[in-house]
């Protein structure tokens, strides 16, 4: 098997004066590894890992928390799905689940695209005059990613704010359960109408004196759903941090690519001028030789 070295030669053609191929091969592999590690965009890699972790927490825990909410509403608040195409709370929860599926798929692809852009940008900066050239299209793609990442950051800020609403609702419910055990004889109630879950005409509430309330506070669904929403909120916050990290990385790459492009133009002009001077000297030398002969 042939191993390629950084200088382009192969193991079978590389000459080793000592006759021992071990050190030369080891040195070549070490140089290859260093070169490969130097081309990895570590900042983009960290942002991608943070983005995937945040999206996974938000989508996974958010989906399970919505399923737990359906169980709580049907079991303890005695709510049922409305027949027909009426937009009730259960239909909205199903819509939110489909939105979660879309978010998971979209940001999985977007994270891969940003990683690929990081690899290409790193390669363009490190190998400016190698096989990789900085083009106008590449700069436009980088600018487009900056704009798109900024919009996604604003979207995740909105998702984070929206996810805090069920956390607040479940915190109120958890506080009522805790206060009902601390204060004897207290009659505390939670009405779903104040959160807009049901219409004003429907009275769906549980009070501390009811059996459903006691069973709900003692059940594991309430505690699990509350903590799942908290983890989903943390995941959304991690996604926001990842978007901010991506913005810093993309902005830095844009500045580096812009400077490298200017340097590339300068080097091209300099090389062209040197070639012209060389042609002029060659022409004059030929003229002098012809005149002498």
Tell whether pTM > 0.95: no
84: left (phi over 0), alpha (psi -120 to 50) or beta: left
Yes or no: say if 247 and 150 are a contact pair by the CB < 8 Å rule: yes
Q: Where are the domains of the chain?
A: 40-184+221-263
- 271: tokens are 């090389």
- Please tell me the predicted confidence (pLDDT) of residue 230: 96
pLDDT digits (tens, 9 = 90+) for 97-111: 999 999 999 999 999
SS3 assignment, position 92: helix
- Please tell me the predicted confidence (pLDDT) of residue 208: 75
- Please tell me the predicted confidence (pLDDT) of residue 261: 66
123: left (phi over 0), alpha (psi -120 to 50) or beta: alpha
The answer to whether residue 187 scores a pLDDT higher than 80 is no
Residue that the structure tokens 């690519």 belong to: 257
The answer to whether residue 130 scores a pLDDT higher than 70 is no
Nearest C-alpha neighbor of 192 from the set 215, 210, 166: 166
Higher pLDDT, 183 or 75: 75
pLDDT digits (tens, 9 = 90+) for 49-69: 999 999 999 999 999 999 999
């Amino acid at each position: 098997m042939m191993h390629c070295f950084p200088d382009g030669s192969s193991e079978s053609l590389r000459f080793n004066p000592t006759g021992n191929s071990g050190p030369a091969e080891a040195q070549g592999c070490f140089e290859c590894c260093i070169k490969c590690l130097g081309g990895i965009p570590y900042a983009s890699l960290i942002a991608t890992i943070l983005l995937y972790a945040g999206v996974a927490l938000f989508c996974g825990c958010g989906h399970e928390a919505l399923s737990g909410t359906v169980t709580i509403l049907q079991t303890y608040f005695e709510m049922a799905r409305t027949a027909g195409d009426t937009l009730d709370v259960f239909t909205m929860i199903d819509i939110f689940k489909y939105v979660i599926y879309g978010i998971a798929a979209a940001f999985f692809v977007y994270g891969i695209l940003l990683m690929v852009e990081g690899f290409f940008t790193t390669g363009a900066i490190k190998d400016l005059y190698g096989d990789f050239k900085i083009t106008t299209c590449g700069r436009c793609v980088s600018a487009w990613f900056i704009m798109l990442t900024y919009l996604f950051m604003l979207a995740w800020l909105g998702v984070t704010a929206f996810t805090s609403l069920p956390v607040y609702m479940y915190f109120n419910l958890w506080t009522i359960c805790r206060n009902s055990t601390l204060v004897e004889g207290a009659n505390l109630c939670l009405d779903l109408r104040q959160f807009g879950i049901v219409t004003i005409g429907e009275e769906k509430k549980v009070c501390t004196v009811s059996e459903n309330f006691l069973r709900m506070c003692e059940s594991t669904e309430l505690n699990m759903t509350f903590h799942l929403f908290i983890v989903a909120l943390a995941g959304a916050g991690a996604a926001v941090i990842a978007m901010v990290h991506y913005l810093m990385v993309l902005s830095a790459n844009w500045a580096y690519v812009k400077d490298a492009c200017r340097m590339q133009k300068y080097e091209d002009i300099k090389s062209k001028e040197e070639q012209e001077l060389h042609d002029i000297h060659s022409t004059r030398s030929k003229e002098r030789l012809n005149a002498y002969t």
